[in-house]
């Protein structure tokens, strides 16, 4: 099996595990939250994503020797990602009407409902995270560190801060370093945290945690560079969301700085560099394959 084939198999496994866990969470939320909000929560959780972040949790977990079931941890990370997509698509942010091949949550319901869904999902993610680390039987210190890493990556130093800067930058010209700082926080931080919490859940030693963080940082950036390329080159049908948004929102992107070929080369460079962070013997085939997949994906 090649590295890429191994990554594709891992992604399929992660998709299966995550979809099952999210369906359980969605069914519970729909029971507990009557009416439209419950339905909208289940709608948002029911969309079919690639589940790249759960696959990275699983790969980090297994690289550190984990042999249990990190399914709830994978789901917690995906719930944070799902909330960010629901809010990202809102009229006050990127104002998009399609996501994962379906109407966005605010189009299927309404913007106020979608805003509430996003806020509620943050609390749901923390609840699922807490259950995940308890079920894995982790010590309090490991549970605390996993929560700290995931929530810090989601907050002002990570995803929210990156999105904020990204919105402020619309219509303004940036230098490449500004763009890298935005991408690293908006998209890279959660991807980095996915790798790290996977490792921590399996008791990874500090050198591996550091290596997974470096690997995650580089593939996280590569992921957003590849996203810029797809936005400029793929069709809406292929992406399941509106293509060409970066140009219509006048965003600076890696494609606007480097052109399509230059951006592709940059993503490739970052993916190669990512593997160099891992300590000798831990650069597993699945991690190598995922880095390759992230750069060459078609959606």
Contact with ligand GRG (CB under 6 A) among 164, 203, 244, 257: 164
Residue closest to 131 by CA, chosen among 38, 180, 204, 201: 201
Give the nearest residue (CB) to ligand GRG: 49
How far does CA 270 lie from the centroid of its chain? Answer: 17
CA–CA separation, 290 vs 59, rounded Å? 9
Q: At closest approach, how far in Å is the CB of 7 from ligand GRG?
A: 14
Contact with ligand GRG (CB under 6 A) among 36, 50, 102, 273: 50
CA–CA separation, 231 vs 101, rounded Å? 15
Per CB under 6 A, the segment of 62-70, 139-147, 157-165, 212-220 that binds ligand GRG is 157-165
Say if CB 99 and CB 137 are below 8 A apart: no
Per CB under 6 A, the segment of 138-146, 159-167, 198-206, 287-295 that binds ligand GRG is 159-167
Q: Which is nearer to ligand GRG, 180 or 187 (CB)?
A: 187
Concatenate the DSSP letters of all residues of 38-98 into one string: HHHHHHHHTS----HHHHHHHHHHHHTT--S--HHHHHHHHHHHHHHHHHHTSTTTT--SE
Contact with ligand GRG (CB under 6 A) among 18, 224, 253, 284: 224
Q: How many CA atoms lie within 13 A of 40 on its CB side?
A: 23
Residue 153 as a binder of ligand GRG (CB under 6 A): the answer is no
Q: Which is nearer to ligand GRG, 77 or 204 (CB)?
A: 77
Contact with ligand GRG (CB under 6 A) among 22, 52, 76, 243: 52
Contact with ligand GRG (CB under 6 A) among 6, 15, 62, 87: 87
DSSP type of residue 281? T
Per CB under 6 A, the segment of 1-9, 102-110, 134-142, 155-163 that binds ligand GRG is 155-163
Contact with ligand GRG (CB under 6 A) among 7, 18, 29, 49: 49
CA–CA separation, 31 vs 155, rounded Å? 29
Residue 217 as a binder of ligand GRG (CB under 6 A): the answer is no
Residue closest to 191 by CA, chosen among 89, 123, 287: 287
CA–CA separation, 295 vs 223, rounded Å? 6
Q: Which is nearer to ligand GRG, 202 or 270 (CB)?
A: 270
Per CB under 6 A, the segment of 15-23, 44-52, 121-129, 259-267 that binds ligand GRG is 44-52
Helix or strand or coil: residue 103?
strand
Residue 44 as a binder of ligand GRG (CB under 6 A): the answer is no
Q: Which is nearer to ligand GRG, 52 or 201 (CB)?
A: 52
Say if CB 114 and CB 36 are below 8 A apart: no
Contact with ligand GRG (CB under 6 A) among 96, 218, 227, 228: 227
Tokens of 23: 């369906």
Using CB under 6 A, list all residues that contact ligand GRG.
49-50, 52, 81, 84-85, 87-88, 93, 100, 159-160, 163-164, 186-187, 224, 227
């Amino acid at each position: 099996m090649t590295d890429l084939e191994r990554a594709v198999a891992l992604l399929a496994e992660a998709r299966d595990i995550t979809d099952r866990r999210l369906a359980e969470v969605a069914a519970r939320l729909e029971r507990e939250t009557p009416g439209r909000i419950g339905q909208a929560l289940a709608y948002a959780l029911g969309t079919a994503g690639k589940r790249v972040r759960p696959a990275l949790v699983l790969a980090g977990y297994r690289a550190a020797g984990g042999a249990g079931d990190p399914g709830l941890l994978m789901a917690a990370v995906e719930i944070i990602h799902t909330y960010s997509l629901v809010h990202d698509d809102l009229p006050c942010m990127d104002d998009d009407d399609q996501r994962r091949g379906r109407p966005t949550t605010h189009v299927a319901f309404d913007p106020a409902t979608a805003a509430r869904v996003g806020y509620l999902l943050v609390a749901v993610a923390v609840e699922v995270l807490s259950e995940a680390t308890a079920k894995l039987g982790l010590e309090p210190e490991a549970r605390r560190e996993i929560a700290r890493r995931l929530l810090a990556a989601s907050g002002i130093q990570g995803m929210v801060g990156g999105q904020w800067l990204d919105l402020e930058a619309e219509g303004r010209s940036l230098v490449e370093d500004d763009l890298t700082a935005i991408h690293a926080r908006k998209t890279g931080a959660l991807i980095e945290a996915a790798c790290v919490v996977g490792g921590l859940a399996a008791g990874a030693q500090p050198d591996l945690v550091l290596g997974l963080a470096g690997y995650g940082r580089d593939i996280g950036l590569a992921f957003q560079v590849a996203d810029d390329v797809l936005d400029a080159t793929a069709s809406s049908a292929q992406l399941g969301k509106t293509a060409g948004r970066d140009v219509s929102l006048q965003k600076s992107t890696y494609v606007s700085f480097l052109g399509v070929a230059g951006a592709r080369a940059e993503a490739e460079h970052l993916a190669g560099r990512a593997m160099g962070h891992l300590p000798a013997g831990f650069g597993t085939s699945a991690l190598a394959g995922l880095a390759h997949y992230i750069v060459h994906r078609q959606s």
